[in-house]
Amino acid sequence: MIKYKFILSAILSVFFVTLVSCSGGKNSGEQNKEVEQLPEDIVELRADQIKLANIETGKIESRSLSGSFKVNGMVAVAPQNLATVCMPLGGFVKSTTLIPGNEVSKGQTLAVLENQEFVDIQQSFLEAKSRLEYAEAEFTRHTELYHDDVYSQKNVQQVTADYKSLKTQVKALEQKLALIGINPANLNEDNISRSVDLVSPISGSIKSVNINIGKFVAPSDVLFEIVNSDKLFLELTLFEKDADKVSAGQKIHFFINNESEQHEALIYQTGKSINTDKTYKVYANVTSVCKKILPGMYVNAIIEASGNNVTVLPSEAVVSFNDKDYIFIFEKNKEENGKPFTEYRMVEVHKGISDSGYTEIILPEGFDSKNAKVVVKGAYTLLSAKKNAGEMSC
């Protein structure tokens, strides 16, 4: 669109040059007249040129712009939604039916493992529990007799020490049993087992399976990896210059695998420091239902900038030249040789975000934004006229 505007401006400029060029039929006295030297930032047009270019002026406004900018990042999963499953005491794999991609629920059996140590722990627990029952009875009896001055304090202390030692031993064995997945409350002499069930700590899908039947696994071996993809988040990388444009609560639209389907996320946290490569991390929860999204996927995201009241003009009122941005403001009306002219002043500004046909502008210090009449239509024509100012002079 801008390309066509420049083409139109060029055509109008050539027309203006023709209109304002000195006539070859003028006498030598007229040719020797001094050419008016306009300031570098002034452009002047006749009334008919202004009408032809459809130049209009307006006021500088204050609006709330949202705006947006593009960033890249990765899909990630929170630590509580990613589980690495091991067997604390190791063992031989007796059975498993799972393969990568299977869905599992929290508490579901992933595999059955066997180990002689499982039997030893159960045996030790039941024996210690039986001794504890006897020691507890002895402790109660000796304490009562001590109060009746039948037993000495030394005997009571010995019984108390034995009782507490056995109680500690039973508690420790209970924790070992719980560690391998056996409930101590349900264990008795009739249900001692050499195998235990390895259960899933979370609900999700199996990412990897690293076992097979008959394989011995050590406590440090990773047997399964489980991912819960229901609660994913984005880890986005921004440049340092964009750090002040984001905050918690902003919406994000993102795309994966160059798909046209748009997904949504919401920023919940921003980084607290700038990395050594001058980048800045932003984290957002995925809020839409996205079945095809998996952890580790690359995403292209669009962040909607916060809406604030800023100084704005219609986007076509801001023109660019030599990597700088300008606006034109009405300067004054005047008359030369009986012909009316209008002067426009070229003012350098800085552009901010753009949204809905308006662009944020940062005006120079001391600029009278309240009374200024800014060219809101035809700015590209004035820019072309400024470029050809030398040719247009007579």
pLDDT at 136: 85
pTM for this prediction? 0.57
In this predicted structure, what is the pLDDT of residue 1? 45
**pLDDT per residue of the chain (394 residues) written in tens, 0 to 9:** 444 444 445 444 544 444 444 334 444 444 444 556 778 888 888 888 888 889 999 999 888 776 677 889 999 988 888 999 999 999 999 999 999 989 999 999 999 999 999 999 999 999 999 998 888 888 888 777 666 665 667 777 888 888 899 999 999 999 999 999 999 999 999 999 999 999 999 999 999 999 999 999 999 999 999 998 878 899 999 888 777 778 888 888 888 877 778 888 999 998 888 888 888 899 999 887 776 778 888 998 888 766 667 888 999 999 998 889 999 999 999 888 888 899 999 999 998 877 778 888 889 988 988 889 999 999 998 988 887 764 433 3
- The CA–CA distances, whole Å, from 81 to 84, 87, 101, 157, 222 equal 10, 19, 16, 51, 17
The radius of gyration of the chain's CA atoms, rounded to the nearest angstrom, is: 41
Domains of the chain, by residue range, sit at: 2-65+309-392, 68-80+228-307, 86-226
Within 8 A by CB and 6+ apart from 39, the residues are none
Report the CATH number of the 2-65+309-392 domain.
2.40.420.20
- The residue type found at 110 is L
* Unique residue bearing structure tokens 């459809």: 54
Among 251, 250, 252, CA closest to 299:
252
**CATH topology for the 68-80+228-307 domain:** Elongation Factor Tu (Ef-tu); domain 3 (2.40.30)
- Name which of 121, 245, 260, 93 is nearest 192 in CA terms: 121
Would you say the CATH fold of 86-226 matches that of 2-65+309-392?
A: no
Q: What is the CATH number of domain 86-226?
A: 2.40.50.100
| H helix intervals, the chain | 2-20, 28-31, 47-53, 116-147, 153-179, 379-387, 389-392
